[in-house]
Structure 1
Amino acid sequence: MAKDKIAYVCSNCGQESAKWIGKCPSCGQWNTFKEIRISNDTGQMAARSAASNVRNARNGEKNKPMRLHEISSKDVPRIDMHDEELNRVLGGGLVQGSIVLLGGEPGIGKSTLTLQTILNLTDKKVLYVSGEESAQQLKMRAERLLDVEDDESDDTARKSVQGIDNLLILTETSLEAIFNHIKEVQPELVIIDSIQTISTEDVDSSPGSITQVRECAAALLRFAKASGVPVILIGHINKEGTLAGPKILEHIVDTVIQFEGDQHYMYRILRSMKNRFGSTSELGIYEMRKNGLRQVNNPSELLLTQDHEGLSGIAISSAIEGVRPFLVETQALVSTAAYGTPQRTATGFDQRRLNMLLAVLEKRVGFKLAQKDVFLNIAGGLRVTDLAMDLSVIAAVLSSNVDTPIEGGWCMAGEVGLSGEVRPISRIEQRIAEAEKLGFTD
């Protein structure tokens, strides 16, 4: 019997090495190489298993080369998720045969969003594979999402869940067993919660390891492409804020969606980081409630609920993410530095761009901010990247510096250049229309 081999794999990008290396030559990260044990038969077994899974998914159908003009690109079938925010982020719906990776911090609401969405897909047979929660826990979550009141009897709760015949729950962590159940039930959508808990017998390592995550994701990708059944993978993020597992996981999938938000805020942001079938500049906004997530179709009204008239350091801006305009409240606080080095802190806004705008105020306008602490916050826990926010950031900083409030009817948007000029921005008509809907006149 041949001895197993020892190899080292980068936990960030998946780069392999025969010996331990301090700095990864591929991604440049330090202390990311982990030791793994490779069986001599692992590669052949994984290849045979993957080929078997693909053959089962194709049901004997042979694939052959086609000329470019013979391939039909019209009306690519998409599944309506019955969720306007999720459909927007996906680019119009879930493409059949695609594989989507949904990431986010623990407890942010990934499983809630997924289960809530598929409860509305009454016309599709969905297989929900859970490696973290039991079937009883998922049923309790489904009852809560279906808005079952606490004072209702258990019989009433069972009736409300009993009407859902399209959702199949499977608590399993073995990839081979999952494929057997898929072959048996023939679902139209597969959910894996989460990819870090799934393992295959062909890889001699623990679940969640680099090799396991990579091989399981690759096998699910081959199944999705061969069968045309879309697969949604739920993944965790690490302490650095990136998706846990090898970096190749993000390259394997078709779409990477990140569910963001602070647990102390009621809002959740669904942002597309990669999308082969749509734009990556779209975002969806949800409000967390006791019975699940509620879509926020008009975020401007919720983000500007409080009356700050008479307070300095607050400016309203009209921002656009993707094709969606909404109003954002920019808050700034300027105070005398208590220590030798002034602080520059930004929440929801690019820290380096804040430093650039402060330098423009120093050089071009003449405001002395070198000995001042500057704190900037985008209200509501949002993270905005629109360059048109420059003008509201400068206005909020100046308002706080001179302790003079900005008039209540003002809404501003504009990019500020290094010479201090206000540059034109795109879609100004949409921004003005959004501001006028909420009563802004200047």
Structure 2
Amino acid sequence: MARSKLLYVCSNCGFESSKWNGRCTNCGEWNTFEEKEAVDVKTTSSFSRQQSAASSLADKLSRLGEIGADTDVRYDTGLSELNRVLGGGLVKGSIVLIGGEPGIGKSTILLQICQYFGEEHSILYISGEESVRQIKLRAARLNVTTESLYLLSSNDVESICTTIEETEPDIVIIDSIQTMNLKQISSSPGSITQVRECTNMFMNTAKKLEIPILIVGHVNKDGAIAGPKVMEHIVDAVLYFEGERNLSYRILRAVKNRFGSTNEIGVFEMMDIGLRQVENPSEMLLAGRPVDVSGTCVACIMEGSRPILAEVQVLATKSGFASPRRVCTGFDYNRMAMIVAVLEKRAGLFFGTMDIYVNVVGGFKLDEPAGDLSVALALQSSLFDKPVSEKVIAFGEIGLGGEIRSISHVPNRIREAERMGFDVVILPKHSMKEINPGTYKTRIIGVSNIRQAFAAVNAIAREETDRKEEN
């Protein structure tokens, strides 16, 4: 006979405990345990009967060399930025989770790619939040007119999986996983148990029929995908939309990807007719850059195989408080504090009574150590109110001894700077071994420490001043 008992389940990671705890011992979150009633139906005798009745899978074993390597295993989404994040396209039989804040563009991008998919494939779009008429209105706004798109409004997972097996579409879209439910589970839709079991059913269907399934996931109050721990291990890829609600640009980043790199990003711009891909994010981030203004410098960071130029702005001004303010937007606060300490100790600069504001333009996050040198040059420029030349770009990591340490992907960074019209590149001297300066049109200056970097910038400023006086 079934035995019922009480369990306490963490709403963040799904960890189960026989007693309530204020803090989850698995993920460390506070006040996340919820009381659930579990039914234990397995006994030793029943488990033994199930084990004896189970059929052998020996006849399904396959040698690695005997498995065919089909070259056509990916679907082109029609968006090069999305293909880049996915690792080249949508893999057959994969299950992809797309998360992000409400209104950031998850459903929009999925409905947009249906227009391209519909040229050669059939798509089944299942929504548990909207009616088919509401989806039709949104499709009309996005100019999605394909006849190969089939709509279904339902949240019954068993019925949905049966429908997928009967119709066998080429691609399935689920919007969203938090609205789906299994009737056998008493908990409400969106709970840890429902999310886990529903995702498992979709995963089994995708692998069995080799149909790719795209799933939309909501976020919780902390900005993470609801039920992340129980879903990340099941799905093949987790894509996450980043961006500020008041900015039009969106960044799509891979948090997990079994079929590609997790370092690639895709950049989109939200418009009235949907998301437009930004194939040149460097130009977007540098648009409207001020001329002859102190406290600005351009950095080059790597996002996977893509070099991206971003403008760093610093404002150092006299503080009106006993404790100066230090604010960072798009840059790590602790990293900024370390750079300021190095400049005071190794370069003789003084920021003790100064408010410091660091901003990376465009809502971009500069989380690579190669951006240290640009921040340092912008700090020095703002302190003395002397602009860094608009034709100068700098990248390098700063050590605690004031040295400029080598970085990776130097040739790619230089080529991107050259393409964007920069005349001078300041980089670590140790990185000069990786390149041949004669092959580039730009002037390349290698520096060993922060004092040499400041001297190079000042020399370039004097050269520009002399040139203007001559003209």
Same fold, TM-score > 0.5, yes or no: yes
Structure 1 unpaired stretches of 5+: 44-60, 147-159
How far apart are 1:357 and its partner, in Å?
1.5
Q: How far apart in 1 are the matches of 2:366 and 2:401? A: 23
Which residue of 2 is the match for residue 137 of structure 1?
134
How far apart are 1:246 and its partner, in Å?
4.8
Give the aligned residue type for 2:225. L
Q: Does 1:37 align with 2:40?
A: no
Provide, for residues 32-89 of structure 1, a one-character-per-residue CA deviation record: whole Å limited to 9, x for no partner.
111223345699xxxxxxxxxxxxxxxxx99712233333456371111111000000
Which SS does the other structure have where 1:411 is aligned? strand
Which residue of 1 is the match for residue 246 of structure 2?
264
Provide, for residues 152-183 of structure 1, a one-character-per-residue CA deviation record: whole Å limited to 9, x for no partner.
xxxxxxxx73xx12111111111112112212
Say whether the 8 Å CA contact 2:81–2:277 is kept in structure 1. yes
Please give the residue correspondences for 1:231-250 in structure 2 after superposition, counting only pairs within 5 Å: 231-250=213-232
Which residue of 2 is the match for residue 114 of structure 1?
110
Q: Does 1:194 align with 2:171?
A: no
Would you identify which runs of 4 or more consecutive aligned residues in structure 1 move more than 6 Å? none
Per the alignment, do residues 331 and 63 of structure 1 end up closer, same or farther by CA in structure 2, a change over 3 Å counting?
farther
Which SS does the other structure have where 1:252 is aligned? coil
Which residue of 2 is the match for residue 342 of structure 1?
324
Give the aligned residue type for 1:84. S
How far apart are 1:15 and its partner, in Å?
0.6
Q: How far apart in 2 are the matches of 1:347 and 1:110? A: 25
Q: How far apart in 2 are the matches of 1:115 and 1:76? A: 23
Which residue of 2 is the match for residue 178 of structure 1?
160
Provide, for residues 372-392 of structure 1, a one-character-per-residue CA deviation record: whole Å limited to 9, x for no partner.
222111111112322211111
Structure number with larger C-alpha Rg: 2
Which residue of 1 is the match for residue 405 of structure 2?
423
Provide, for residues 242-295 of structure 1, a one-character-per-residue CA deviation record: whole Å limited to 9, x for no partner.
111251211111111101111111110000111111101000001111101111
Say whether the 8 Å CA contact 1:348–1:377 is kept in structure 2. yes
Which SS does the other structure have where 1:435 is aligned? helix
TM-score w.r.t. structure 1 length?
A: 0.88
Which SS does the other structure have where 1:100 is aligned? strand
Q: How far apart in 2 are the matches of 1:38 and 1:173? A: 23
Say whether the 8 Å CA contact 1:360–1:418 is kept in structure 2. yes
Pick from 373, 378, 382: which aligns with 2:360? 378
Which residue of 2 is the match for residue 156 of structure 1?
none
Which SS does the other structure have where 2:252 is aligned? strand
Give the aligned residue type for 2:134. Q
Give the aligned residue type for 1:66. S
Please give the residue correspondences for 1:263-282 in structure 2 after superposition, counting only pairs within 5 Å: 263-282=245-264
Per the alignment, do residues 307 and 348 of structure 1 end up closer, same or farther by CA in structure 2, a change over 3 Å counting?
closer
Which residue of 2 is the match for residue 127 of structure 1?
124
Per the alignment, do residues 25 and 326 of structure 1 end up closer, same or farther by CA in structure 2, a change over 3 Å counting?
same
Which SS does the other structure have where 2:331 is aligned? coil
Per the alignment, do residues 223 and 42 of structure 1 end up closer, same or farther by CA in structure 2, a change over 3 Å counting?
farther
Q: How far apart in 1 are the matches of 2:323 and 2:233? A: 42
Pick from 273, 276, 280: which aligns with 1:291? 273
Pick from 309, 313, 331: which aligns with 1:331? 313
How far apart are 1:354 and its partner, in Å?
1.7
Which residue of 1 is the match for residue 344 of structure 2?
362
Say whether the 8 Å CA contact 2:14–2:230 is kept in structure 1. yes
Say whether the 8 Å CA contact 1:91–1:278 is kept in structure 2. yes
Please give the residue correspondences for 1:221-236 in structure 2 after superposition, counting only pairs within 5 Å: 221-236=203-218
Percent of counterpart pairs with the same letter?
49
Give the aligned residue type for 1:300. S
Say whether the 8 Å CA contact 1:319–1:431 is kept in structure 2. yes
Q: How far apart in 2 are the matches of 1:92 and 1:296? A: 17
Give the aligned residue type for 1:106. P
Say whether the 8 Å CA contact 1:76–1:95 is kept in structure 2. no
Per the alignment, do residues 133 and 69 of structure 1 end up closer, same or farther by CA in structure 2, a change over 3 Å counting?
same
Provide, for residues 386-419 of structure 1, a one-character-per-residue CA deviation record: whole Å limited to 9, x for no partner.
2211111111122112222111111111111221
How far apart are 1:312 and its partner, in Å?
1.3
Q: How far apart in 2 are the matches of 1:41 and 1:3? A: 7
Say whether the 8 Å CA contact 1:97–1:228 is kept in structure 2. yes
Give the aligned residue type for 2:385. D
Which residue of 2 is the match for residue 205 of structure 1?
187
Per the alignment, do residues 353 and 69 of structure 1 end up closer, same or farther by CA in structure 2, a change over 3 Å counting?
same
Structure 2 unpaired stretches of 5+: 44-56, 425-471
Per the alignment, do residues 62 and 265 of structure 1 end up closer, same or farther by CA in structure 2, a change over 3 Å counting?
farther
Segment of structure 1 superposing worse, 65-74 or 420-429: 65-74
Which residue of 2 is the match for residue 89 of structure 1?
85
How far apart are 1:337 and its partner, in Å?
3.0
Number of positions where the alignment pairs a residue of Structure 1 with one of Structure 2: 411
Which SS does the other structure have where 2:137 is aligned? helix
How far apart are 1:335 and its partner, in Å?
2.1
Which residue of 1 is the match for residue 12 of structure 2?
12
TM-score w.r.t. structure 2 length?
A: 0.83
Say whether the 8 Å CA contact 1:213–1:246 is kept in structure 2. no
Give the aligned residue type for 2:154. E
Per the alignment, do residues 170 and 347 of structure 1 end up closer, same or farther by CA in structure 2, a change over 3 Å counting?
same
Q: How far apart in 2 are the matches of 1:42 and 1:224? A: 28
Q: How far apart in 2 are the matches of 1:8 and 1:118? A: 41
Which SS does the other structure have where 2:259 is aligned? coil
Pick from 100, 104, 107: which aligns with 2:100? 104
Give the aligned residue type for 1:129. I
Say whether the 8 Å CA contact 1:10–1:246 is kept in structure 2. no
Q: How far apart in 2 are the matches of 1:252 and 1:141? A: 30
Which SS does the other structure have where 1:29 is aligned? coil
Which residue of 1 is the match for residue 429 of structure 2?
none
Provide, for residues 111-138 of structure 1, a one-character-per-residue CA deviation record: whole Å limited to 9, x for no partner.
0011111221121111111111221221
Which residue of 2 is the match for residue 77 of structure 1?
73
Say whether the 8 Å CA contact 1:210–1:246 is kept in structure 2. no
